[in-house]
Amino acid sequence: MDNTFVVNIIHRPEMVPEYAEKITGQGQEEDIGRKSLLTESLDIFKFQQETAHKNGLRVTIQMTYASLFNEEAVSIAKHDHEVYGDEIALSLLGLPCNEFRDKYRTKDFCIWMFSMEDKKSIVDDVFGKFHDIFGFYPRSTGSYYMDADLINYIKSRYPSVKCAIATCFEEGPKAYHTCNNSWYTLLDGGPWNPWIPSKQNSHAPAADESEDSGIVAIPHLSRDLLACYDGNGSNFGTHPQNVLRGMIYDTKTWEFPYFFNLVDQYRHLAAYNKGYSYNMMFVGPGWLNKLGRWEAPYELLKKSYEDGCRYYGDLKKQGRCVDMTMAEFADFYREHKTYSEPECALWKDILYGSDKQIFWYLDPYMRAQINMDQGGALVDLRPYAAKLYWPVGIGTKHVQDASYPFLIQEKYRAGYFTHYAGEGTIKSAKLCYKGEEVDLCLCRTKAHFSRDDRTVVLTLDPVEIEFADLTVKLQTKIYFEEGSSTIRYDRVILKMSRENAVITVNEYLVACYGTTEYPEDMTGIKLKVAKTLDHRDIDYEYRCREESLPGAAIASAVIPAIETKLLVGENTGKATGYIREGYAFSPMFTLGFTKELKCGEVMSTWLRLEKAD
Amino acid sequence: MAQAGKGRLNYRCPSCFMRDIDIDMFYDKEKDEYYCLRCQYRGDEKNVLEKNELARFRYGMIGRRITIEDYGD
């Protein structure tokens, strides 16, 4: 397709905005029916609608349950649908209101945290009320997160729904910590851009029609793919007030170029995704509070929203942006995307000045992050191939934790650097020569993206490794073959200062599993290194054991807790495969291959993810 | 001594902000200072604003516009 940058602008008339009650009601007893609160909420909604329309942008109005009881909110939605072509949709955010609390006798408000029984009841209530008011069922819905069971239920009962906001990218433990350990959106491990959720796990994209949940999912906001991974995600997204929350603006001029840089970097992602790129802006009314938000006065909040809408509006006028409603976007997405087509993002730092570059890859089998500042190390890996059924909410094993588990997460389980002892999760390679060892994690480089038929290729700039009496020039190439559930790493020796020198390359992967910073029980993990007629095994017991096998073809780990099998392989039969158990202070396992290389030779290894039966 | 409340604006603790924690401060009108419930920071409005500026040190490109034309790859 020709370059197409799509934006979804979404508003919700939330009668009791998150934060607003706590702010406007400070020093007063809680009263979510307070008239001043309702009036302010509607004023904010009107302002947001006017600002979008003034800039020629159409909106998806996500009616909240509370707003369905408010005649003025309903009337605005109907009017703006008629006049501006806005879509009237239905949010599962904004449940709190007296009617809801009277019926459900709870202050819970996050749909994914309710019991399945309550989820069904609430969905039926909210959808039923919407139908009573508007005479049709919505085509779009959403929340901060929607679990697979919830999506499947909605789709089965209300088949008109074709689009939903279904996760916030990397809004997990980091957001929880930022909010003084009181904001329970534990949703790490999902896509950053739209996808078709599988019926088994909404984070994991469907691999084919049989896995298709029937909707197109969009993320809540388009977030900075580097800043969000280390810092509080809520500071770094296409949400102007979130940017203010991060204090990423000039206090004298109130300018915040970072927001526009972020939009433009998303636009640039078209270069890696066959001309398609996407943005979503969804500002809840609590962020436009008349009393200001933290140190930002209302005037700055207002200006930032106006500036944000103006930028999208200007892009639209220049023919560089297409504004769609959510339902329109779902149709567009299905028309232009296949199940197996990956989402790719070669991303650079646009805020800190670090010059760092990372690459994100997403398909129905995995989500992976490659870090060029660490020599192309694999620093995050989510095994979507397992399509892990992970029900959330009251009555399940995961009342709040909706994250898709990782095998590698360099921030939560260290990466290259650990304190004193043990290892962190990462996939990299070490070069060894005459007793010296250098890890490619210490070789900063840059990558170039290319696509060869069905394979995405990252070609890294060569790096130099200096030993005491040998210099080696090495290049890494990383291949993601569509639909294969496999990543291949080639390490090519381009040059050596001593022509006949022989070095040993140790291609290794350290992993564990989890969703947070804290270790899980590794007992029960089965490690194996094998070749045709021989194999060695270790059943994980924290005993620091190691096994190796010359000529091995595969080293693998089966992790029953997340129904995942992780395999690494080397196809020449000239390498030695090994498996390594961890210990209590280093609750990891390692899979790897070592091989001797001369100048001009290549070490090619792969990793594959499978569902473990 | 009367209870603390909120000030003119709802300032966050700059010390906690620098360690990625958003926490509201409360205002002690007798001492004319904001203080943090979680850490040991306290300061008047001028000090809070100065520290908020300091917190921006990590954003090395905060004032720089990077457009789509700046991507060469």
**What's the first-to-final CA gap in chain A, in angstroms?**
40
How many other CB atoms are found less than 10 A from the CB of residue A27?
7
Q: Do B58 and A265 make contact, defined as CB atoms within 8 angstroms?
A: no
| SS3 of residue A262 by DSSP | helix
User: What number is the average pLDDT over the span A554-581?
Assistant: 98
User: What number is the average pLDDT over the span A457-481?
Assistant: 98
pLDDT at position A613: 81
Q: Do B10 and A258 make contact, defined as CB atoms within 8 angstroms?
A: no
Smallest CA–CA distance, residue A264 to chain B, in Å, is 5
Cβ neighbours for A45, distance < 8 A, ≥ 6 positions apart: A11, A12, A13, A14, A73, A76, A285
For B68, which residue in chain A has the nearest alpha carbon? A264
Give the pLDDT band (50/70/90) at residue A286: confident
Cβ neighbours for A562, distance < 8 A, ≥ 6 positions apart: A383, A386, A388, A405, A513
> How does pLDDT run across A26-76, given as a tens digit for each residue?
666 766 666 777 778 899 999 999 999 999 999 999 999 999 999 999 999
Q: Do B5 and A27 make contact, defined as CB atoms within 8 angstroms?
A: yes
> How does pLDDT run across A392-437, given as a tens digit for each residue?
999 999 999 999 999 999 999 999 999 988 899 999 999 999 999 9
pLDDT at position A434: 97
**Helical segments of A71-172, H only:** 71-84, 98-104, 116-134, 148-157
Q: How far apart are CA A479 and CA A488, in angstroms?
A: 5
pLDDT at position A15: 83
Residues of A in contact with B55 (CB under 8 A): 247
Q: How far is CA A264 from the centre of its chain?
A: 19
Q: List the B33-35 sheet strands across, edge first.
A: B26-28, B33-35, B42-43
Buried b (16+ CB within 10 A) or exposed e, A193-205: bbbbbbbbbbbbb
Q: Scan for tokens 């054991």, then name that residue.
A: A545
Q: How far apart are CA A536 and CA A589, in angstroms?
A: 15
pLDDT at A127 over 80: yes
**What's the first-to-final CA gap in chain B, in angstroms?**
63
Choice between A452 and A323, residue whose per-residue pLDDT is larger: A323
Phi-psi region of A514 (alpha: psi -120 to 50; beta: other; left: phi over 0): left
> How does pLDDT run across A252-276, given as a tens digit for each residue?
999 999 999 999 999 999 999 999 9
State the sign of the Cα–Cα–Cα–Cα dihedral A193, A197, A198, A201: positive
User: What number is the average pLDDT over the span A115-142?
Assistant: 98
Q: How far apart are CA A569 and CA A160, in angstroms?
A: 45
Smallest CA–CA distance, residue A355 to chain B, in Å, is 11
Cβ neighbours for A39, distance < 8 A, ≥ 6 positions apart: none
Q: How far apart are CA A496 and CA A589, in angstroms?
A: 32
Give the pLDDT band (50/70/90) at residue A22: low
For every residue of A406-417, DSSP letters joined together read BSEETTTT--S-
B5 CB within 8 Å of a chain A CB: yes
**Helical segments of A402-476, H only:** none
> Two tokens at B73?
């790859």
pLDDT at position B7: 74
Q: Do B20 and A174 make contact, defined as CB atoms within 8 angstroms?
A: yes
Q: How far apart are CA A392 and CA A32, in angstroms?
A: 27
pLDDT at A496 over 60: yes
Q: Do A351 and B59 make contact, defined as CB atoms within 8 angstroms?
A: yes
pTM of the complete model: 0.96
pLDDT at position A181: 96
B3 CB within 8 Å of a chain A CB: no
Residues A405/A509, Cβ–Cβ less than 8 Å: no
For B19, which residue in chain A has the nearest alpha carbon? A178
Smallest CA–CA distance, residue A209 to chain B, in Å, is 35
> How does pLDDT run across A333-354, given as a tens digit for each residue?
999 999 999 999 999 999 999 9
Q: How far apart are CA A554 and CA A320, in angstroms?
A: 48
Ramachandran angles phi, psi of A376, nearest 5°: 85, 20
Residues A267/A316, Cβ–Cβ less than 8 Å: no
DSSP tag of B25 = -
Helix orientation angle between A298-317 and A35-54, rounded to the nearest 10 degrees: 30
Q: Do B20 and A260 make contact, defined as CB atoms within 8 angstroms?
A: no
- For chain B, where are the E strands, in sequence order? 26-28, 33-35, 42-43
> How does pLDDT run across A196-246, given as a tens digit for each residue?
999 999 999 999 999 999 999 999 999 999 999 998 888 999 999 999 999
Beta strands A87-90 and A59-63 are parallel
Q: What integer best gives the mean pLDDT of chain A?
A: 95
Q: Do B66 and A292 make contact, defined as CB atoms within 8 angstroms?
A: no
Residues of B in contact with A245 (CB under 8 A): 22
DSSP tag of A341 = P
User: Mutate which of A261, A266, A277, A311 to test chain B, going by most B C-beta atoms within 10 A?
Assistant: A261
